[in-house]
């Protein structure tokens, strides 16, 4: 094992709650009801596709032109960007800071494979932007998760093979993407090749055991 590829939202930090808050406000405005259970289907899914799923959930998808969908997605993102101004290094999920340090100490290469265009800004706010050897620029990716493309780009960027990497994900779409990429998955609160309940359980020792 030479590398770890990380999802961001819900793995490194709990921005998933801010995505949900911003989508919930948008859905309210559109007269569509969404709850925390429905929100599971939005995790790992791109901004535009998330909005389309919400509109379809409210039987409104046919009522909107692409330009209007774009405008609403931008509006959600403006609120989301305001919310992530609150993010600081204190918002790293349990165990992540020490896990990253351990990986670095053992020469393990690290990448971020997130569907979020806000990923670099969030990593900078968390103070860990420099810790990663490669961050996938999702604007270059055509197919989002569950397609394997984001993670294939991540291992290409790190220069490792799929079987030399381990992926960490909290979303079903992300686990599916890792599986299609041929990368061993650790699911946080979601079933993966290895399933954990919390990021606090992530250690270099655990990775050694999976090898």
- How far apart, in whole angstroms, are the C-alpha atoms of residue 134 and residue 19? 24
- How far apart, in whole angstroms, are the C-alpha atoms of residue 68 and residue 64? 6
Nearest-10 Cα torsion for 94, 44, 39, 119: 60
Shortest Å distance, C-beta 209 to ligand G6P: 28
> Which one of 4, 12, 34, 115 is in contact with ligand G6P (CB under 6 A)?
115
Nearer to ligand G6P, 45 or 186 (CB): 45
Token look-up 């209007």 returns 68
- How far apart, in whole angstroms, are the C-alpha atoms of residue 56 and residue 35? 15
> Which one of 4, 5, 9, 111 is in contact with ligand G6P (CB under 6 A)?
9
If one asks whether residue 41 binds ligand G6P (CB under 6 A), the answer comes out as no
Nearer to ligand G6P, 43 or 153 (CB): 43
**Strand 134-135 with 194-196, pairing:** unpaired
131 catalytically annotated: no
Nearer to Mg ion, 40 or 70 (CB): 40
If one asks whether residue 113 binds ligand G6P (CB under 6 A), the answer comes out as no
If one asks whether residue 19 binds ligand G6P (CB under 6 A), the answer comes out as yes
């Amino acid at each position: 094992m030479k590398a770890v590829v990380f999802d961001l939202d819900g793995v490194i930090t709990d921005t998933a709650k801010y995505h949900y808050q911003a989508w919930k406000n948008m859905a309210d405005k559109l007269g569509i009801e969404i709850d925390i259970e429905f929100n599971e289907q939005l995790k790992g899914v791109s901004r535009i596709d998330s909005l389309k799923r919400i509109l379809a959930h409210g039987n409104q998808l046919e009522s909107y032109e692409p330009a209007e969908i774009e405008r609403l997605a931008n509006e959600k993102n403006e609120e989301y960007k305001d919310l992530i101004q609150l993010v600081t290094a204190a918002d790293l999920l349990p165990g992540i800071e020490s896990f990253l340090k351990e990986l670095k100490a053992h020469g393990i290469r690290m990448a971020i494979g997130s569907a979020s265009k806000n990923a670099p800004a969030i990593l900078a706010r968390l103070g860990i932007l420099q810790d990663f050897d490669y961050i996938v620029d999702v604007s270059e990716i055509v197919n989002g998760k569950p397609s394997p493309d984001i993670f294939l780009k991540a291992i290409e960027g790190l220069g490792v093979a799929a079987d030399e990497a381990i992926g960490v994900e909290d979303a079903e779409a992300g686990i599916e993407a890792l599986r299609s990429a041929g990368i061993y998955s650790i699911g946080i609160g979601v079933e993966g090749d290895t399933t954990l309940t919390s990021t606090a359980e992530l250690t270099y020792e655990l990775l050694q055991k999976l090898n």
